[in-house]
Amino acid sequence: MLLPAVLSDFVGLLFPRVCLACQEPLARGEDHICTSCRAQLPYTDYHRLPTEQNPLARRFWGKLPVQHTLSYLRFQKHGRVQHLLHQLKYRGQQEVGRILGRWYGQELTEAGLRASFDLIVPVPLHTRKLAQRGYNQADSFAEGLAAGLGVVWKAEALRRTTYTNSQTRKNRMQRWENVETVFEVAKPELVRGQRILVVDDVLTTGATLEACAAVLLAAGALEVSIATIATADR
Residue closer to Zn ion (CB basis): 27 or 111: 27
Give pairs for 38-45: CB < 8 Å, separation 24+.
Answer: 38/103, 40/80, 41/73, 41/80, 41/81, 42/73, 42/74, 42/76, 42/79, 42/80, 42/81, 43/72, 43/73, 43/74, 44/71, 44/72, 44/73, 44/74, 44/231
- Which segment (8-16, 32-40, 84-92, 189-197) binds Zn ion by CB under 5 A? 32-40
Q: How far is the CB of 187 from Zn ion (least distance, A)?
A: 39
Beta strands in the chain (DSSP E): 69-74, 119-122, 152-153, 158-163, 180-185, 195-203, 223-231
Q: How far is the CB of 207 from Zn ion (least distance, A)?
A: 32
The answer to the question of residue 73 lying near Zn ion (CB under 5 A) is no
The answer to the question of residue 19 lying near Zn ion (CB under 5 A) is yes
- Which segment (7-15, 22-30, 112-120, 198-206) binds Zn ion by CB under 5 A? 22-30
The answer to the question of residue 217 lying near Zn ion (CB under 5 A) is no
Residue closer to Zn ion (CB basis): 36 or 51: 36
Of the candidates 3, 11, 18, 22, which one interacts with Zn ion according to CB under 5 A? 22
* C-alpha to C-alpha distance for 221 and 234, rounded to whole angstroms: 29
Q: How far is the CB of 82 from Zn ion (least distance, A)?
A: 14
- Please give the residue ranges that form the binding site for Zn ion (CB under 5 A): 19, 21-22, 34, 37
